Structure 1
Amino acid sequence: MKRILIVTDAWHPQVNGVVRCLDNIGDELRTFGHVVDYLTPERFWTMPLPTYPEIRISLAHLGHVEDVIDEVQPHFIHIATEGPLGLLARQVCLNRHLPFTTSYHTRFAEYIAARLPVPAEWSYAYLRWFHEAAARTMVPTQSVVVDLAQRGFQGVVPWTRGVDRAQFFPARKTLFGELPGPHMVCVGRVAVEKNVEAFLQLDMPGSKIVVGDGPQLDELRARYPEAHFVGQKTGAELAAHYQSADVFVFPSKTDTFGNVMLEAMACGVPVAAYPVIGPIDVLTDPLAGRMNERLDIAVTQALSLKREDVLRHAARFTWAECAKMFFDYLAPTDSEISVAA
């Protein structure tokens, strides 16, 4: 049994791939017999992130983080995000000469560039500095490994993702019966970096359904009144929206992975996406999804795919394997502790 401390600025009530990933690997690691603690903004006063009030950033200081580490006495420390808590934990580890690992979940530089007049390379310079002190930096796919290595990052290793097939599984359609088909569904944060507008601009027969909330929701709802915006869904409601889709459309060009693609495929729904980082690593079987620089072509091709082939591909992704890889990459805070122990 080992004690693992995961430091993250992204946490509940946020609904995103980072939170889902960290939640699920914690559950899996506990089934392996380990103790998992999280250092999150829940412990501190917070303030809304400028331009993105749904995300709150912690107002902790160095002493707070030191107290948590002293309390937990972790065998391993993993810093999952590059925000305020991640920065503080990084500094404590460096001050105390404690090895730690990090992870790169989000194309942060592209997100910032989409919102503010900040060159992406400025953000990448910060990210290189942040991660260079880590024993390893875990990233979602091999394509991200290559991309970051070309940008001067070192110690980068691939770390897959999983899907909860107890929650996401094939079932009969229960929604959209009143809407003309085919039913095209997009799930995710309704924000500029998610490129939802590319989905809404598709000139195709059928119905477009957007599942999610975010800062662009009101604007896009007003501009595309023919689309159906159903808001954020979780649990069985979210699964029902996947299960009732004919095709899942993933228009993002900035995600490093795209967990929602796995959730859709676990429900037997084929995926249409651009051939960019994320989809090119997830949609490795053309029987499970299609990619094209023209999203409408990808959608048309995906609609012809068989659900049993999609399900077969989705079965390759498990949270148990994701958690095993995570644990094997961790760096012990005590050099005498074996990672394999």
Structure 2
Amino acid sequence: MKRILIASDAWHPQINGVVRTLERLDRHLPELGWATIMLTPDGFLTFPCPTYPEIRLAVTTPGDIARRLDAINPDHVHIATEGPLGFAVRRWCIKRRRIFTTSYHTRFPEYLAARLPIPVGWTYALLRAFHNAGAGCMVATPSIEDELKARGFHNLMRWSRGVDADMFRPGRNRNALDLPRPIWLYVGRVSVEKNIGAFLDLDLPGSKVVVGDGPALEGLRRAHPDVTFLGAKIDDELADIYSASDCFVFPSRTDTFGVVMLEAMASGLPVAAYPVAGPQDVVGGTGAGVLDEDLRAAALKALEIPRETCRDVALRSSWQAATRQFLDNVTGIHGWGPAQPSASCGLPSGRDLSLIGTTDSR
């Protein structure tokens, strides 16, 4: 059985699309005959990320990472993030002349520019050098692929996302939210780059609900006392909240995908969003939402969309299919034959984690 090491500076206790995507990859790769080894900040000393104190970054050295990776000797390396672990693993791969892939999950240059006076061009130059050193950089949507090509990124590959349609479904608990209707819902990180204020400032009937945590939470609570802030929720509790709502409002202009939109649609919620990358790729042209620069008009019109339509669109995307797409990219680079589904894969996901100082990822 071949083994893939996935290096990520984003991991638990973070709740975001990157972590959720990697969790699913770790879960489903063994079904295709691969053992996964997660290299994350777990097991390392950590320090808070500037401007994101709840994100803990690993304290390590290239030599420490090299010893760990030499001991593991993975068949393939995938680097998911451009943080301390990502850079250290990239260094090891280049020095050992090992084939590796990367993935582009976050518009980090725009996020950084929203907090500090750093030109996005400078940050994109750093990211371009980081990703172009690999054999392939995986992106979630055609829009992001086009944007990165225009910025000089090479060897771009498509890797979409999925949704757990068994967990996120209509009719779970319509009474989970005892609020005046219609209920307008946002789920995600509560931070400046998510543009949540554009949603909360809208003049809409009924109730607005925000699910998530982040550095902008307290400020938004003070500015919008009429909004229900529920904090971070996961799994069944989150699925119940989706099911009890009437429309999902996604005000971000910077997301590269937006897994929460798939979760909302699987729960029967229409999506209202701006016509930008992310929503255009996930919702545009599907009939499961409305995209408009007038977000209020989009939200009101989205209420007319049948819940069944939203559910049907979401069912086109599964985590199993996304995992196979990821693995097809990897096997194509190496020239290996396609992996076959396996009922018993021998090594479970997360094996050999003691060698890299992490705990079992599931």
Short-chain TM bin: over 0.9
Conservation of the 8 A alpha-carbon contact between 1:185 and 1:245: yes
1:304 paired with 2:315, answer no
Identity of matched residues, %? 51
TM-score, normalised with respect to structure 2: 0.91
AA aligned opposite 2:294: R
Once the 2 structures are TM-superposed, how far is the Cα of residue 70 of structure 1 from its aligned partner? 2.0
Q: Which secondary structure does the structure 1 equivalent of 2:37 belong to?
A: strand
Once the 2 structures are TM-superposed, how far is the Cα of residue 331 of structure 1 from its aligned partner? 6.1
AA aligned opposite 2:49: L
User: Structure 1, residues 11-40: CA drift from partner, whole Å, max 9, x if none?
Assistant: 011000000001101111112221000111
Q: Who is 2:353 aligned against? A: none
**Counterpart Cα distance in 2 of 1:241 and 1:247:** 11
**Counterpart Cα distance in 2 of 1:67 and 1:239:** 42
Q: Who is 2:12 aligned against? A: 12
**Counterpart Cα distance in 1 of 2:37 and 2:337:** 18
Higher mean displacement: 282-291 or 141-150: 282-291
Report the RMSD for the aligned CA atoms in angstroms: 1.4
Once the 2 structures are TM-superposed, how far is the Cα of residue 43 of structure 1 from its aligned partner? 2.4
Q: Who is 1:174 aligned against? A: 175
User: Structure 1, residues 64-83: CA drift from partner, whole Å, max 9, x if none?
Assistant: 21122123221110001111
Q: Who is 1:58 aligned against? A: 58
AA aligned opposite 2:111: Y
User: Structure 1, residues 199-253: CA drift from partner, whole Å, max 9, x if none?
Assistant: 1000111110000111011111001111111111111110011001100010111
Structure 1 unaligned regions, length at least 5: none
**Counterpart Cα distance in 2 of 1:60 and 1:32:** 32
Q: Who is 1:31 aligned against? A: 31
**Counterpart Cα distance in 2 of 1:211 and 1:339:** 43
Higher mean displacement: 270-279 or 158-167: 158-167
AA aligned opposite 1:306: P
**Counterpart Cα distance in 1 of 2:11 and 2:71:** 21
1:271 paired with 2:271, answer yes
TM-score, normalised with respect to structure 1: 0.96
Q: Which secondary structure does the structure 2 equivalent of 1:42 belong to?
A: coil
Give the number of the structure with larger relative contact order, counting CA–CA contacts within 8 Å between residues 6 or more apart: 2
AA aligned opposite 1:196: I
Conservation of the 8 A alpha-carbon contact between 1:66 and 1:92: yes
Q: Who is 2:338 aligned against? A: 340
Change over 3 Å in CA distance of 1:4–1:292 after alignment to 2: same
Q: Who is 1:152 aligned against? A: 152
AA aligned opposite 2:106: T
Structure 2 unaligned regions, length at least 5: 340-362
Conservation of the 8 A alpha-carbon contact between 1:75 and 1:332: no
Q: Who is 2:243 aligned against? A: 243
User: Structure 1, residues 27-64: CA drift from partner, whole Å, max 9, x if none?
Assistant: 11112221000111112100001111010111111122
Once the 2 structures are TM-superposed, how far is the Cα of residue 285 of structure 1 from its aligned partner? 3.6
Once the 2 structures are TM-superposed, how far is the Cα of residue 286 of structure 1 from its aligned partner? 4.2
Alignment: residue pair count: 338
Conservation of the 8 A alpha-carbon contact between 1:77 and 1:331: no
Conservation of the 8 A alpha-carbon contact between 1:191 and 1:214: yes
Conservation of the 8 A alpha-carbon contact between 1:6 and 1:80: yes
Conservation of the 8 A alpha-carbon contact between 1:245 and 1:269: yes
